[in-house]
Structure 1
Amino acid sequence: MSFKQHKVRVGISIGDFNGIGPEIIMKSLKDKAITDFFTPIIFGSGKLFTYQKNIFKLQQLNFNYITDATQAQSDKINMVNLTKENVNVEMGVPTEESTRMAIDSLEAATNALIKGDLDVLVTAPINKDVMMKHGFAHAGHTGYLEEKFGKKGLMFLVTNDLKVAVSTHHIPISQVAESISKEKIKKQIKMLNQCLVEDFQIPRPKIAVLGLNPHAGDGGVIGTEEIEIIEPAINELFDNGVLTFGPFPADSFFQPNKYKNYDAVLAMYHDQGLAPFKTIAYEEGVNYTAGLPFIRTSPDHGVAYDIAGKNVANEQSFSEALFMAVKIFKNRQEYNDLMTNRMRPRRNSANNGVDEDLPDENGH
């Protein structure tokens, strides 16, 4: 079966079940035709989801209960049952039980992805602070996946029209300036450029880079990081064929007539990039971890304890995350197939002048 015919296996971790994770997962999968597009494999609890689907009046949703991702059926919504015990649900309140299952779900799904039993991973929201108090060693999914995959990633928030990456992730604002460097920014822009080419099929992406300081330093009056670090990185990459521009003042960049001239933006820190992104791309944005060997997406919002259990959570961002993971997987496979064919030796036919593939070792 070619990659174009392959039905993508989408692993789903449930996040904190006392938040809106199970609700947005089930609402995103409620259409019976969903399995025509991909094979969902949820890592959770049958009893938990049965209880919650009654709360959200989704009784028509049925699961194929399995003990391992390899048992998933392509035409069903599959549930890897991590526990057969009853689950105590306390909507809107993080508990030790909900936190432990969030960790177990993420670890089980990630391990299945590494083993090759899944093609992509989509993660529901977690409570980072509470998870760390219960032994989770990372301030979010990105750090965890970097450790598991042995490679640095880049937090990348995306829609069709707006794509924003951040140079520094979940660190105090007081540590941002000391955490950026010319080499780090160059590496991140290269990663971003490659991601745009391979995963989003943009042949010659244009990347805008924001300054760190107000007014991008105002010529060194309000900080020198732009002059000493950011601008040299941009110039060096541009001279080597990477279409990188800036540094731009962040306060005026996110106007439609500006940001739409670029395929992606690299912000220097979390709120500098995510605050405008979440304002512009409200409920449709997707968090994608770029640069990793495996594909992981998530919605661009949190656990939303304040609306948990009220049946008002909007599933659009999670739905976008599901379909974007599938699309990126197919784009990456198509790119790899194209590059493989380009690298294949060819000969010129003496008879008809048409290039033909060289025969293999068996003469075919």
Structure 2
Amino acid sequence: MKVKNNIRVGISIGDINGIGGEIVLKTFEDSRMLEFCTPVIFASNKVIAFQKKHFGLEINYNGVQEASQVVDGKVNIVNISKNAPKIEFGKETPEAGKYALLSLKAAVEALKADEVDVLVTAPINKHNIQSEEFHFPGHTDYLAEELGGEALMFMVTEDLKVGLMTDHIAVKDVSENITRDLILKKTGKIHDSLVRDFRIRKPRIAVLGINPHSGDNGVIGKEDDTVLKPVIKELFEMGMMVFGPYSADSFFGSENYKKFDAILAAYHDQGLIPFKTLSFGKGVNYTAGLDRVRTSPDHGTAYEIAGKGTADFQSFKEAVFTALHIYRNREEYKKISANPLKKSSVNTK
């Protein structure tokens, strides 16, 4: 199949002892995916051949030594190592961590060199990947350092988008890390992403309270009154449609979230528990705030089902489509910004 001007999707294979290889190959076993993009998987022929045989998948691929040799219209495997690592499904091994990092580094370098257009990452194990080269709590912080910019963990579906004020830090450290500058920065990133990446001209953003019941006027905590409320007022006066703080316990159950284009949560679980409850299997982890597009599925390595052939690949597939959607929106945004008189189909809500 010859596809012209196809968006090239760089894919890091993640932890080979988890479900990464399975969900990647299941996604592209459907040859119709090649009508939308050209996948470039950073692994090795031996690893992919093993996974293909193990799961009984019917998928043809093109092995290349460098990303510059990729062929559009085919599933491409960029060989990142001559030595095939041992695959032990369901086990955390140092070898799998080293291979995951090798794949990620190669994919990021290809992204920097414009050999791929977007990056979709399969799940890593945040423990066995740690090394002198990778000393981060996850993909988000690593990519922020490698690609530059202020990264925002933005969990998205078509109808629900949740950003995090603080992400991979201990709960005991949350309140002291939430400052005026952080709120301004994270809210600004969400606003800019909604405009540029999702083409929403006047986005409405809800901010969740830090304390239970948003502090109950200082009875349960003062941070919502002394930190959040003044900054929300400041943002509103700047012209942003930012509202809150809202009590997190009732915000999602009451379906209040449907009135907004995005929600900014104070900390990791406050945002991700309701997000994954409402959209698990369809959600996508998007790293907003960078010059490059990176997405991933909304789940981890799932060691408990690795190798069994039962992994649901829907979230990874959604991550691919979301990356393509954002990439196209950004290209259109560039054209509109260069020619402001040009009419656009930006959502005006």
The one-letter code of the counterpart of 1:82 is I
Gaps of 5+ in 2: 343-349
Give the 5 Å matches for 1:44-63. 44-58=43-57, 60-63=58-61
Give the 5 Å matches for 1:318-337. 318-337=316-335
Q: Which residue of 1 aligns with 2:63?
A: 65
* CA displacement at 1:94 relative to structure 2: 1.7
* CA displacement at 1:127 relative to structure 2: 0.5
Q: Which residue of 2 aligns with 1:23?
A: 22
Indicate which of 172, 175, 188 corresponds to 1:174. Answer: 172
* CA displacement at 1:304 relative to structure 2: 0.2
Q: Which residue of 1 aligns with 2:105?
A: 107
* CA displacement at 1:150 relative to structure 2: 2.2
CA–CA distance in 1 between the matches of 2:155 and 2:8? 22
Root-mean-square deviation over aligned CA pairs? 1.3
Q: Which residue of 2 aligns with 1:254?
A: 252
The one-letter code of the counterpart of 2:145 is E
Q: Which residue of 2 aligns with 1:230?
A: 228
CA–CA distance in 2 between the matches of 1:179 and 1:129? 24
**SS in structure 1 of the partner of residue 128 of structure 2:** helix
**Structure-2 change in CA distance of 1:86 and 1:187 (3 Å):** closer
CA–CA distance in 1 between the matches of 2:120 and 2:320? 6
Q: Which residue of 1 aligns with 2:198?
A: 200
Indicate which of 268, 271, 284 corresponds to 2:269. Answer: 271
**SS in structure 2 of the partner of residue 130 of structure 1:** coil
Q: Do 1:231 and 1:246's aligned partners in 2 also have CA atoms closer than 8 Å?
A: yes
Q: Which residue of 2 aligns with 1:12?
A: 11
Q: Which residue of 1 aligns with 2:118?
A: 120
**Structure-2 change in CA distance of 1:172 and 1:82 (3 Å):** same
CA–CA distance in 2 between the matches of 1:132 and 1:214? 35
The one-letter code of the counterpart of 2:334 is N
Q: Do 2:96 and 2:128's aligned partners in 1 also have CA atoms closer than 8 Å?
A: no
**Structure-2 change in CA distance of 1:254 and 1:25 (3 Å):** same
**Structure-2 change in CA distance of 1:312 and 1:187 (3 Å):** same
Normalising by the residue count of structure 2, what TM-score does the alignment of the two structures yield?
0.95
Q: Do 2:85 and 2:99's aligned partners in 1 also have CA atoms closer than 8 Å?
A: no
Deviations 1:268-319 (A, max 9, x none): 0000000010000010000000111100000000000000000000000000
Compare CA radii of gyration and give the structure with the larger one: 1
CA–CA distance in 2 between the matches of 1:328 and 1:101? 28
The one-letter code of the counterpart of 1:236 is E
The one-letter code of the counterpart of 1:218 is D
CA–CA distance in 1 between the matches of 2:153 and 2:46? 34
- Which 10-residue stretch deviates more, 293-302 or 124-133? 124-133
* CA displacement at 1:343 relative to structure 2: 7.2
* CA displacement at 1:45 relative to structure 2: 1.3
Deviations 1:107-131 (A, max 9, x none): 0100110111111000000000221
* CA displacement at 1:191 relative to structure 2: 1.1
Deviations 1:301-343 (A, max 9, x none): 0000000000000000000000100010000110111111117
Q: Which residue of 2 aligns with 1:35?
A: 34
**Structure-2 change in CA distance of 1:160 and 1:281 (3 Å):** same
Q: Which residue of 2 aligns with 1:356?
A: none
- Which 10-residue stretch deviates more, 186-195 or 255-264? 255-264
The one-letter code of the counterpart of 1:293 is D
CA–CA distance in 2 between the matches of 1:135 and 1:239? 43
CA–CA distance in 2 between the matches of 1:257 and 1:168? 23
User: What count of residue pairs does the alignment treat as equivalent?
Assistant: 339
The one-letter code of the counterpart of 1:174 is K
CA–CA distance in 2 between the matches of 1:129 and 1:175? 21
CA–CA distance in 1 between the matches of 2:268 and 2:84? 38
CA–CA distance in 1 between the matches of 2:161 and 2:106? 29
The one-letter code of the counterpart of 2:192 is Q
The one-letter code of the counterpart of 1:72 is V
CA–CA distance in 2 between the matches of 1:256 and 1:296? 32
Indicate which of 336, 339, 343 corresponds to 1:338. Answer: 336
Deviations 1:67-108 (A, max 9, x none): 111111111000001122233111100212211110000001
CA–CA distance in 1 between the matches of 2:204 and 2:253? 17
Normalising by the residue count of structure 1, what TM-score does the alignment of the two structures yield?
0.91
* CA displacement at 1:255 relative to structure 2: 2.6
Q: Which residue of 2 aligns with 1:189?
A: 187
Q: Do 1:99 and 1:134's aligned partners in 2 also have CA atoms closer than 8 Å?
A: no
Gaps of 5+ in 1: 345-364
The one-letter code of the counterpart of 2:88 is E
